[in-house]
Homo-oligomer: A and B are copies of this chain.
């Protein structure tokens, strides 16, 4: 416990190297990370969390960078967590980091961390929220989650933000595409980026029409559709204004408690399933899995039969260890 308190004190100093070290503990599922997270839990929740999501190529990174610059001008500190669905081969997360570091990353009030979806252990959204808690405990004002908003796990991460912005471009296709991508239900507002391109107004109109068709009453916060040309810094002020307007709305309503409860639910479920999964796939069961794969390849056995044997072995382990 001595170490934990020391780590918490170091985090509170806001120094990037300690934040970075603590997040690495989280990523590597180090037991000390869990102790840390339990201990900082009561102090987190001060940083306002913004989700920026949308299809590839919508300019999410540019919006994140420009919004960060604007927040810096207002003397705010910003933590950025970028989720890269990167292949093990590209190392894209590292590449993304380097490009950003030149622009805003050297500022002492900006902390940037890329988290790759590589590695099959899963638990990405758990680790992302845990990393945000770490940054939060280092007294940052804002945390931005930047994710590609198409996969289910990426959407789950966006859902954990207090305000979620969905970036689109005129080429993102009509509103049916937007719906298909599951972005409609998570957007607190939309940003039509690259809005100087042809088709922007039509795309906005189509999106607005779709939004009006969605069930709503006088209490619904109907998502606005803003315009931006983020690469030229245009529309960024308006984005921040809308973030603050939405923040005011949720902080004054029951939505805030509901959101935090929903996030806790996602977290608990993920923690339970990750812990159990790690328990299952210990070295013993990994070896059994390899043997089962050979068996299946050389026979007519079904994966279901193999799975049942592995589960049986796991449960027997629990029985013997008690």
Is A62 interfacial (CB 8 A cutoff)? Answer: no
A55 closest partner in B (C-beta): B56
B280 touches A265 (CB 8 A): no
B56 touches A307 (CB 8 A): no
A146 shortest CB reach to chain B, Å: 12
Please measure, in the bound complex, the distance between the C-alpha atom of A38 and the C-alpha atom of B265, giving whole angstroms.
34
Is A267 interfacial (CB 8 A cutoff)? Answer: yes
B85 touches A173 (CB 8 A): no
Is A275 interfacial (CB 8 A cutoff)? Answer: yes
Interface residues of A in 246-287 (CB under 8 A from B): 257, 260-261, 264-265, 267-269, 271-273, 275-277, 280-281
Please measure, in the bound complex, the distance between the C-alpha atom of A322 and the C-alpha atom of B296, giving whole angstroms.
29
Is A148 interfacial (CB 8 A cutoff)? Answer: yes
Is A1 interfacial (CB 8 A cutoff)? Answer: no
A261 touches B297 (CB 8 A): yes
Residues of B with C-beta under 8 A to A169: 171
Evaluate whether A296 and B148 lie within 8 angstroms (CB atoms) in the complex, with A56-B173, A180-B56, A280-B272 already known: no
Residues of B with C-beta under 8 A to A153: 151-153
Residues of B with C-beta under 8 A to A281: 269
A319 closest partner in B (C-beta): B322
A85 touches B307 (CB 8 A): no
Please measure, in the bound complex, the distance between the C-alpha atom of A181 and the C-alpha atom of B84, giving whole angstroms.
8
Interchain residue pairs A-B with the least CB separation, the first 4: A151-B151, A42-B300, A41-B302, A271-B307
A-B contact pairs, 20 of them (CB 8 A): A38-B305, A42-B300, A56-B181, A86-B182, A87-B184, A89-B214, A90-B179, A92-B176, A92-B180, A150-B150, A151-B153, A152-B153, A257-B297, A268-B289, A268-B306, A272-B307, A272-B311, A273-B273, A319-B319, A319-B322
The chain A residues found within 8 Å of chain B, CB to CB, are 34, 37-38, 41-42, 55-57, 84-90, 92, 95-96, 117, 124, 148, 150-155, 169, 171-173, 176-177, 179-182, 184-185, 214-215, 257, 260-261, 264-265, 267-269, 271-273, 275-277, 280-281, 289, 292-293, 296-297, 300-307, 310-311, 314-315, 318-319, 322
Q: Give 6 new A-B contacts, CB below 8 A, not counting A90-B184, A272-B310.
A: A57-B173, A84-B180, A86-B180, A96-B180, A151-B151, A151-B154
